[in-house]
Amino acid sequence: MPLEEKMNTVYRLTFEWAHILEKSRIYQYTDLLYSPWRLIWRNILFGAARGVGIALGFTFFAATIIYILQGLGALNLPIIGDYIADIVRIVQRQLEFK
């Protein structure tokens, strides 16, 4: 294998590694590790955003379930209807007190 071909291969591999490292943003990650206050601030913001998202998702889910239960309660099913009506009444009382 001629020397020029070896040099081209080394250059190509080095260029590919540099490109992969640049794509992985390893510099930004190490920069973040060396500034702990930025890391803490980011984690606080991301945690708050996650908490708000979970709260909104659970609210939507609970409202949908209550809506479905009210619809089932209106059907006057013998056993299930009374049970669902009790659940809906309890939830409505809790919402009135808040």
Burial 13-32 (b: 16+ CB within 10 A, else e): eeeeeeeeeeeeeeeeeeee
Q: What is the tens place of the pLDDT at every residue in 37-85?
A: 988 999 999 999 999 999 999 999 999 988 887 777 677 667 776 777 7
pLDDT at residue number 68: 85
Q: How far apart are CA 78 and CA 58, in angstroms?
A: 30
pLDDT at residue number 70: 78
